[in-house]
Chains A and B, each alone.
Chain A
Amino acid sequence: MRTTFIATTTAALLAAGVAGAQTTITFQDQGPEREPFNEEAIRLFEEANPDIDVEYAWQANEPYKTGIKVMMESNDPPDVYFVWAGSFANDIADTGVVSEISDSETRGDAWTRGASKGIVDQFRHNDGLYGVPAEIYTKTMWKNDAFFDDNGLEVPETLDELRTLCGRIREVDPLMVPISFGASESWTINHYLTILFQRHVPIETALADYQLQAPADELFTHPGYEKALEDFVSLIDAQCFNDGINSVTPEVGRTMFATELAAMNFCGSWCPPMFDDQGFAGRYSMFPFPRIEGAEGDQDGVLVGAVGYQVSEASDEREAALKFVSHLLSPEMAALRARMIGRIPSNNAALEDGDLAPMAAALLDMATSAPVSVPPLNTIVETSVSDVILKSGQDLVAGTITPAEFMDRVRAQARDAASRG
């Protein structure tokens, strides 16, 4: 059913000589990109705490999403585990298996030093704190510098220009895909819709809709949603993307860009290390997602989300687990995280020049300077409505529903969820 990669770090050798009771905590992460950093952080932690062993395992992105929920339902959940901030983290918290950790915040554990309050707040839910942020991520457009320069192509500033650019690229090189796009996992469509909704719908209206806080009959009624979907379809119609979007994996989408089969890509802050691994380092650059003239949202908004870790309510070693979380997310480890795996730590106040790779620094700058930022739809929209948006995204790509039908479905599910909620 799923491919599970398990990498376990044993601390048995280090601990062998130490007398007294050994404590073992289990640590489950989404992988494998954080593996080098995690192993080093665990090594340092076990050195400082010889009485605690950390058992570390990871699963790949898509299996992790269902796998962690299965594990949390089981009798033996991991003590510390990775979550996406927003509805994903809150759903797990709602089942009562997550430890409330405001005590750790109150006593000022290491992770609180320099932490951004706004990002920590993303883990608050029902007046409690159910997690600690680790990284932020953002998403933007990337381009193949040489291809743009050689063909005299300009970075598009508006969506109209982007559509025109797609046509130009098809003329210049019929074999070059303007924007590679893999949506076999539908969250990638979701990210386009996140930013398009943000451009078309004022943020207050959108947030009220996403959290089902508006009156039930007004949910998702802003005309901007449908316009955003129309814009999305217009990109498909303008031949901006490769064939078979719905059955291309996100990995293939990224690889097409890094291997110069595509001129542009809409990709997250986790992507540059991947592009670099494929030998594309230094030959690409970022540009903001185009503005949409006349749209009612904010034209300079960005997608920003956070990820972090929760502690299991069932943990027998809550104090040891909190100690590990505190270490993993301390400002010192944040710097190590930035250096080793190129991710943007959420706790970035104490970073020094050179800790962040230039590309990551630029992304952080973009994220922090944006007037409005919004997390991906599937982490903020109520789960059942989010699922309709995820599924209908593929239908929209396949051309089996219209933007109007899409929104009809969303509104129906939102009303339904609000009435149950």
Chain B
Amino acid sequence: MAATIRRRHGTGFDLVMIAPALALFGLFIVWPAVQALVTSLHAEPTRGGGFVGVANYRDMASDPVFWIAMKNNVLFILCNLVFQVGVGTVFAALIDQGIRRGSTVIRTIIFAPLVIAPVAIGVIWAMLLEPNFGLVRQTFNATGLPFPRQGLLGNPDLAFASIVAVGAWNYIGFMMTIMLAAMQGIPRDLYEAARLDGSSPLQTFWNITLPGVRGALILCALIVVVGSFKTFELVYVLTRGGPGNTTQVLGTYIVEAAFQLFRPNYAAGMSVVVLVVAILFGSLQVWSGRRA
């Protein structure tokens, strides 16, 4: 079909057809990106705004907070892959295979957090985790467990883990739903054949289920990688990157640099870095998609 059209109308026709998309892409994606790049090559408005070349990027390289944010972003990606995609897949497999009774109820409960905006999720959990009166503290007290003195979000060692946990609570349902849909596309008789072949549930999950949902798994992983890299709301609402800078991610640090430290051009430079990394991940995905 595509070949027919090309033969009849030539390349010019193709260009006309993609022109609207190209124009919108240029206007709303490329142009702002170019502007961000240009902005990042100039000094802050408070310092005259002259052209300074890559000075902002040099600052970045020696800015410990930037590297904390970068490290946290990478950690965030890894943790979210394990806890959102990994656990979501396991939940999906359990519901797909094991649980007969009440699976609809379980699915609804696990899926429900997804329909809540991340900001609201953050506010809800900030309340639950409130260190003096929150439900979590009360639960610890009721069960006699020791509660960390600075609470969960106020403790540098626990704050990041808490954010990961809340994020997982938010998104596991989504990942589970995608994976479950993919799993339910696997013919039942494959599982019966595997059972006849003597495959244990674990072997079946590994050898039949996982390869069968490879496409969905890659999709979920990409969503998590990109989502985690540009994460902002949850961290901002729960800890604002604190205590100190311990949970700072690039998203929160960009906002802070732009509007609290009043260094919008430096912030633009960091946005460019995020963009470049996102493009790298994106091409990786396209590349692996072509190969598969």
Contacts and interface: CB of A to CB of B under 8 A. Distances in A.
Interface stretch (B15-23, B210-218, B237-245, B284-292): B237-245
B129 A65 contact: no
Interface string B236-266: 1001101111100000000110111110100
Contact of A244 (B130, B255, B262): B130
Nearest to A401: B244
A252 B67 CA distance: 33
A247 B154 contact: yes
Contact of B153 (A1, A247, A252): A247
A307 B130 CA distance: 31
Contact of B46 (A91, A244, A401): A91
Interface string B31-58: 0000000000000011100000000000
Given A91-B46, A392-B244, A395-B244, A247 B147 contact: no
Contacts of A420: 47
21 contacts: A1-B119, A1-B232, A69-B262, A243-B151, A245-B150, A246-B155, A246-B242, A247-B126, A247-B130, A247-B243, A248-B130, A248-B132, A252-B130, A383-B261, A383-B262, A394-B154, A395-B156, A395-B246, A398-B150, A398-B244, A400-B246
B259 A66 contact: yes
Given A243-B149, A246-B154, A394 B132 contact: no
Given A1-B119, A398-B156, A244 B261 contact: no
A128 B175 CA distance: 58
What size tier do the contact residues of chain B reach?
35 or more
B96 interface: no
Contacts of B119: 1
Given A184-B240, A244-B154, A395-B156, A66 B131 contact: no
B154 A66 contact: no
B152 interface: yes
B260 A387 contact: yes
A246 B264 contact: no
Interface string A171-201: 0000001000000111000000000000000
A395 B149 contact: no
Interface in A372-394: 383-384, 387, 391-392, 394
Contacts of A73: 264
Interface in A233-263: 242-248, 252, 256
Contacts of A384: 261
A78 to B, nearest CB: 16
A250 B129 CA distance: 16
A399 B152 CA distance: 14
B152 to A, nearest CB: 7
B260 A397 contact: no
B262 A243 contact: no
Given A1-B232, A392-B244, A247 B45 contact: no
Contacts of B137: 243
Nearest to B242: A394
A293 interface: no
A70 interface: yes
Given A70-B259, A395-B243, 16 more contacts: A1-B236, A73-B264, A91-B46, A96-B45, A243-B131, A243-B149, A243-B151, A245-B154, A247-B131, A247-B151, A248-B130, A248-B154, A384-B261, A387-B261, A394-B154, A420-B47
Nearest to B154: A246
Contacts of A70: 259
A94 interface: yes
A247 B259 contact: no
Interface string B146-174: 01011111111000000000000000000
A119 to B, nearest CB: 24
B245 A400 contact: no
A91 B233 contact: no
A252 B131 CA distance: 11
A387 B236 CA distance: 16
Interface string B89-128: 0000000000000000000000000000001000000100
Nearest to A378: B260
A95 interface: yes
B261 A247 contact: no
Nearest to A3: B119
A248 B131 contact: yes
A242 B262 contact: no
A244 B151 contact: yes
B240 to A, nearest CB: 7
B154 A398 contact: yes
Contacts of B245: 391
B154 to A, nearest CB: 3
Contact of A394 (B244, B259, B261): B244
B260 A246 contact: no
A190 B243 CA distance: 14
Nearest to A70: B259
Contacts of B152: 247
